[in-house]
Amino acid sequence: MFYGLIGLCALSVLADLFYEKHVHYVAEMLIGAYGIFGFASAVGLVLAAKELRKLLMRDEDYYDNDD
C-alpha cells in the first residue's frame, strides 16, 4: 500500500508535465508546485501546533478536585 501511494504521487507529479498551465505566479510553473506547497504547509502547521501546545498546555492534574 505504501509503495502504491508513492507510485500515485510520482504519477501525479509526472502528469504535471503534460498539460498547459495558466498561472498567476512564477512559482506555479515549478513541477509539483502544489504538492510542495501542501507539504510545506502541513509541516508548518505541525511545528506551529507544537509551539502552541507549550503555551496552552495545562498541568496534568488541572481538572482534579482537591476539596
pLDDT at 62: 79
The CA-atom distances, in angstroms, between 29 and each of 15, 16, 45, 57, 62 are: 13, 10, 25, 42, 51
pLDDT at 35: 87
Tell me the pTM: 0.69
Q: How far apart are CA 49 and CA 35, in angstroms?
A: 21
Average pLDDT, 10 consecutive residues per value, the chain (67 residues): 94 89 89 90 97 89 73
Domain count, the chain: 1
What is the distance of C-alpha 58 from the center of its chain? Answer: 27
Residue 13 domain-assigned? Answer: yes
Residue 52 domain-assigned? Answer: yes
Residue 37 domain-assigned? Answer: yes
Residue 45 domain-assigned? Answer: yes
Residue 66 domain-assigned? Answer: no
Give the residue numbers spanning the domain of 49.
Answer: 2-56
Residue 19 domain-assigned? Answer: yes
Residue 63 domain-assigned? Answer: no
